[in-house]
Every structure is written in structure tokens, then in C-alpha cells.
Amino acid sequence: MKDMLNLQEAARAAAQALLPKAGLNKQREISRLIFEICKRDDTAPADISARINAKNFEQAKKELLALRYPISFKTAKRENFYLPKLDLQALPDAEIKREEFYPKNIFIEKEVLNSPLAQRALKLFPKAKTEILEKKTFCGSENYSKRKENLVIIKENFDFVKPCPCTKNCFCCGYNLVNLGFGCAYECSYCFLQQYQNLHAIVLPANIKDFLDKIEKTPLRKGPFPHIRIGSGEFTDSLLFDHITNYSFDIVDFFRGREEYFEFKTKSTNIDNLLKIPAAKNIVVGWSVNPQNVIDDAEALTTPLHARLAAAAKIAAHGYKTAFHFDPVIIHEGWRANYLSVIEKIKNTVPAESIAWISIGTLRFSRELKKCIESRFKSNTILDGEFLLDFDGKMRYPKVLRKQVYETLAPALKKAFPGTYVYLCMEEPDLQI
């Protein structure tokens, strides 16, 4: 793999040599295209510019777009190609260190100092520097990669439960979200939190009972499922910190015997608490799954696929429900065989009757996240795919490729797990399966 900073410079130089009279914005677009082609194909910028015959900007851009977007070039509108300024030095690199979560600092809001969560955190991390906050005055690290140094224990007053915001013009699966925590210790290169989270810390609410109280009083949305579904895990991994929070005890206790299904969404194997208590049939543990090569490339610090499936088998044997989320599906060489093999592995490890639902969603992200990913994960391969600004303003694979993914995975899942609800997440209604 090339050194990306050198490649960035070489791409800028090649653009300058190709179109010396072009203005700054035009140079930026050309250098980005050259950079992205060279990164994907492992070629030199000089080789790419040597293949360009055009001498003016419009023609050169057209030739480069055809090289960069071979599938969508002829059909996509010009405004759907997103070519921001190349700036790989905008953010510090992601820090990929596999180590147990142990914050350097614990900030506790005064109101929840005596809460079980705050007291447990103080016991679990005796070497951490502790600060009691009179008001909400904490601020996290400037660097997102340092977020794990700061644990903040708060009393949540507003953001308890809400319908999943989904995305404009998408088929809605009717999910409800409860925001139990903000911040994650994993380093998935596609994670939206790296661009979205402005407080660089792990934030955990101490007033779990208030959340459950709110759930009791809030009319929850019902989608196409036979049951109302609610889950945590939008702004953090639902189980990663469960040995600290013990949320699962209260959640299982609250939902036992109720009609709604509650889902913990995770990439962890932190299921010990759940195994300590009697299971409930309406508690679902949902694992996000990907082939191991994608986990190695794009889900740093998470658990391997075989460990997720082994944990799912234990959860099922204990009497809970399981779920699987093929999300985000990342298109890569050999993706069909690799994803079909994940389906086979689930089938061979987890009892089909335990699986409450399975979702599929291809990789999508905001345009701002693209710049963040390429700066924090300079050698990423996920951005080498063809992504265009799509119907909801997000960057997505061309529809023709997304369709191929759904037409491959959905029938295979329905065949392997007949009777399990399989659905697409955040996708256009006409692609629904």
C-alpha cells in the first residue's frame, strides 16, 4: 500500500502538470480523482495523467470520472459525484490499540454521584482521576481518538426514547430507539460517530430507571413486525460497557412479560450479565455481522465473527432471541461468496428458531464522513468503492450494485432461515424484498 500522504502530494502535482492553467477548484477536483484512482488501483499519478488525452478541464474531468466510476459514469448525474478538497492531514490518525477500557478521567455529575453506576465506576477504575461536576461543564478531548480517556457519568434529562429517524424517502421499519450512552470504544472505519460526536468521551447515563419510566409512558411506534421493537445501540454499542453499567439487568427485568421486543445491538461478546439472569423471550441480542476479511479491514478492535456467533449460540441456548444485521454490507472482491459463507456459518452455529429478525443494509454515509474516514483511516479500502450522492443526500453505492447485494443475500437468508423476518434497512421502497 502506498504512503497516502505522498500519494496526495503526487496527485496534486500530476493535476498541476496536466492542467497548469486551471484554477484552484478545478485543480482540486482533478487531483482528487487522480488520487482516488491511484489509491484504488495501486498505480502512480504520472501513469494516470499519461492516459488522459484531454487538454482542457471539462474533458480531463470526464475522462477521469470514467476511470474512477466505471459502473455509474454513464448513468449518474454530474452533481452526484462528490469531489471535495483532498486533505488527509485534517484529522489525527485513528489509534488502533487493543486494550481494556480504562479511563484516565471520570467526570460525574454531582446529582448522580451516589448512583450505583457512579459508585461502580469508581470501584472499577480506582486509578482514574475523578472530578465531580457541579454543572454540565465537562468537555472531552480535542482528538476523537482519545475519547476513551474520559468517562462521563450523567443524569439524562431529555433524550430518552424516540422513533428511529431513519432517512428521508426510505422504507421505515418502525424501530424505536433508546439512547443509553454516547461513544464507543471500537474503531470501525465507517462509524458515523467519528464525525458526529462532538463530546469526545464515553458518556453513560446513571438514571436508567428514568429511561424505563419514559418507555412506559411513551406511545411507541409499531412497524410491519408483529411486535413493537425498541433497542439501544444507536450512539454506542449496546453491550460493550455492560459490565460497567449493568443496564441489562434492569432492562430484562423491565421488559420481561411485556409485549414489546427489546434489542441489544452489539459487536461485542459481553454477554455475561445476560447469562446470569433468567432469559426473557422478548429480549433480543442482535449482532452486526460481516465476513472476517471485512472485520479485519474495517472494524478495528471489535470481536471476530466466530466469537460473535459463539456468543449468539450461548444467548440462544439460554433462552433469549437473537438477531443479525448484515449492515453495513461492504462490496469488495469476492463479496458474494464471503457474505454467503457468513449465512452458512450462522446456520451452522445458531438455532434458526432463536432468530427474531435479520436486516440487510449496504454501506452509506454522509459526505462529511467521507473526509473524516480518509483522514483518520488513510489506508482504508472501503472508500475505494463507487459512492455517489444519492436520493437522501447520503453517499451510497449505485442502485444497480445495491440491488445485486439484496438479490443475493435476501433469498439466501430466507432459504436458510424460513419464517425469520428479513428486511432492508434505510433503503428505497422500490428495492424492498
Gap between the Cα atoms of 361 and 349, Å rounded? 22
Residue with cell 430507571: 209
Q: Closer CB to ligand SF4, residue 182 or residue 254? A: 182
Q: Closer CB to ligand SF4, residue 267 or residue 321? A: 267
Q: Are 191 and 146 in contact (CB under 8 A)?
A: no
Binding residue for ligand SF4, selected from 156, 237, 386, 427, defined by CB under 6 A: 237
Q: Closer CB to ligand SF4, residue 194 or residue 354? A: 194
151 φ, ψ (degrees, to nearest 5):
-110, 125
Q: Which residues pair with 270 in a beta bridge?
A: none
Q: Site residues for ligand SF4, window 324-343 (CB under 6 A)?
A: none
- Give the CA distances from residue 184 to residues 191, 192, 212, 238, 240, in Å, rounded to whole numbers and listed in that order: 10, 11, 22, 9, 8
Minimum Å gap between C-beta 274 and ligand SF4 is 18
Minimum Å gap between C-beta 331 and ligand SF4 is 18
> CA torsion angle for 287, 292, 298, 300 (degrees, to 10)?
80
Binding residue for ligand SF4, selected from 39, 267, 376, 402, defined by CB under 6 A: 267
**What letters, b where the CB count within 10 A reaches 16 and e where it falls short, cover 154-175?**
bebeeebbeebeebeebbebeb
Q: Closer CB to ligand SF4, residue 28 or residue 308? A: 308
Helices (H), 57-207: 57-68, 116-124, 193-196
Q: Is position 425 an interface residue for ligand SF4 (rule: CB under 6 A)?
A: no
Minimum Å gap between C-beta 191 and ligand SF4 is 3
- Is the preceding omega at residue 328 within 30 degrees of 0, hence cis? yes
Minimum Å gap between C-beta 188 and ligand SF4 is 3
Q: Closer CB to ligand SF4, residue 186 or residue 249? A: 186
Q: Closer CB to ligand SF4, residue 298 or residue 350? A: 298
Minimum Å gap between C-beta 287 and ligand SF4 is 11
Residue with cell 489506508: 379
Q: Closer CB to ligand SF4, residue 60 or residue 271? A: 271
Minimum Å gap between C-beta 190 and ligand SF4 is 7
DSSP secondary structure code for residue 329 in this structure:
E
x/- mask, ligand SF4, residues 85-114, rule CB under 6 A, reads: ------------------------------
Minimum Å gap between C-beta 179 and ligand SF4 is 12
Residue with cell 478492535: 301
Q: Closer CB to ligand SF4, residue 194 or residue 248? A: 194
x/- mask, ligand SF4, residues 154-193, rule CB under 6 A, reads: ------------------------------x-x-x--x-x
- Give the CA distances from residue 219 to residues 222, 240, 256, 263, in Å, rounded to whole numbers and listed in that order: 9, 28, 18, 18
Q: Are 54 and 62 in contact (CB under 8 A)?
A: yes
Minimum Å gap between C-beta 302 and ligand SF4 is 6
Where along the sequence are the contacts to ligand SF4 (CB under 6 A)? 184, 186, 188, 191, 193, 236-237, 267
